[in-house]
Amino acid sequence: MSLQPGAQTGTQPIPPRRPHLLVPTPEQLAARRLRRRTRLLRPAYWLPFVLLVVVLAIAWGIGARQMPYLFAPLGEIAGVLSEDLAYFLENTLITLGEAMVGLGIGFVAAFALAVVVSEVAVVRRAVMPLAVVLSVTPLVAIAPLLVVALGFGMAPKVVLTALVCFFPILINVATGLRTVPGPVLEVYRTVAASRLEVLRYLRVPASLPYVFASLRIVFPLSMIGAVVAELAAAGSAEGLGSVIQVASSQNRLATVWAAIFVLAALGSLLFWFVTLAERRVLRWHQP
């Protein structure tokens, strides 16, 4: 063996390259595909969860017998749900509408302020400490005051929802807008990119992971805001919060629990929706 450069290319034939991939036969491929697709059907995936649900349902049954003023039997809850499906659907849509309108207003306002905060240091120093304090304050507590001030209509619900969503979005987005790495900024400053261009092409896309992080917090939070505002408005006749209020004052426990289950399902649905959207938009982002 010679160490001279170029020596081995002389007379010796170059050996054929050995493969670096093992391609399965069509039968193997089909078997592997099937295994991947039916992964979620295997008991190892769903059995633990189903077992826990069964255990909890049994515990619920015992609870309903021991504490009839707290729990309603599951069968009764299911009965109420299926009987008054239209009633629940109608009120769900009202609550969902309030939550989404509030969330939308809160999001637009918070995003706009986050842009200002990230661009103007003076505003940042004024706003951010206050934002941190207010984001850990349980703002839902002002629901009764909002009802007094704004009446029994949609207004207090939307305002409360917008308010509870506002600060988590503000803090996350303001942080996210400042995550563009220094060297990237330097590259674009050497071509004299304007502030608006830096914002549009660099800062806003870079903030998207933070935007979605805040949405995952804020979607469920918006439901809480709307329901609490409905609970506080004792006379309002609409929304799942009102359903709970009226039913519990009349001791219709099954209805109360049915409304709570609907809220839980709705919250999960929203969360799932955000996760799905995030997966689509943030393909490039690896956590």
Partner 1 sequence: MHGVRRLYEQADLVDLIALDDVDLTIEPGTFVSIIGPSGCGKSTLLRLISGQESADAGRITVCGLTPKEAAEAKAFGFVPQSPALLPWLSVLGNVTLPHKVNRRSDRGRPDLEAMLREVGLGESLHKLPAELSGGMKQRTAIVRAFGLRPDVLLLDEPFGALDEFTREALQEQLLELWEQTRATVVFVTHSISEAVRLSDRVVVMAPRPGRITDIIDIDLPRPRHQEIITSPQFHAYELALRDSLRDAFSHGEVVS
Shortest distance (Å) from residue 20 CB to partner 1: 16
Outline where 68-154 has alpha helix (H): 74-83, 85-119, 121-135, 143-150
CB 23, min distance to partner 1, A? 19
Of the pair 251, 286, the CB lying nearest partner 1 is at: 286
**How many C-beta neighbours within 10 Å does residue 28 have?**
11
Nearest to 100 by CA among 245, 287, 273: 273
74 vs 281 by CB, closer to partner 1: 281
Cβ of residue 203: shortest distance to partner 1, in angstroms? 11
Nearer to partner 1, 19 or 183 (CB): 183
**Residue 37 or 283 having the CB closest to partner 1:** 283
Q: Give the residue with the Cβ less far from partner 1, 13 or 182.
A: 182
Q: Which is nearer to partner 1, 128 or 193 (CB)?
A: 193
For the chain, the C-alpha Rg in angstroms (whole number) is 28
217 close to 164: Cβ distance less than 8 angstroms: no
Please, what is the minimum distance in Å from the beta carbon of residue 196 to partner 1? 10
Measured CA distances, 87 to 6, 84, 128 (Å): 84, 5, 43
What gap in Å lies between CA 128 and CA 169, rounded to an integer?
12
CB of 226 to partner 1, least distance (A): 33
Q: Which is nearer to partner 1, 100 or 115 (CB)?
A: 115
* Shortest distance (Å) from residue 201 CB to partner 1: 6
Binding site for partner 1 (CB under 8 A): 181, 183-184, 186-194, 197-198, 201-202, 205-206, 208, 283-286
Task: Give the integer Cα–Cα distance in Å for 180 and 165.
Answer: 25
Specify the residue, 112 or 187, whose C-beta has the smaller distance to partner 1.
187
Please give the span between the terminal C-alpha atoms of the chain, in angstroms, as a whole number: 48
Q: How many residues does the chain have?
A: 287
Is the CB of residue 110 less than 8 Å from the CB of residue 166?
Answer: yes
Give the single-character DSSP code of 16: P
CB of 104: closest distance to partner 1 in angstroms?
Answer: 24
Report, in Å, the least distance between residue 208 CB and partner 1. Answer: 8
Instruction: Please state, in angstroms and as integers, the Cα–Cα distance from residue 206 to each residue in 182, 185, 282, following that order.
Output: 13, 12, 10
Q: Token pair of 242, please?
A: 């009102």
Torsion of CA 51, 57, 63, 68, to 10 degrees: 180
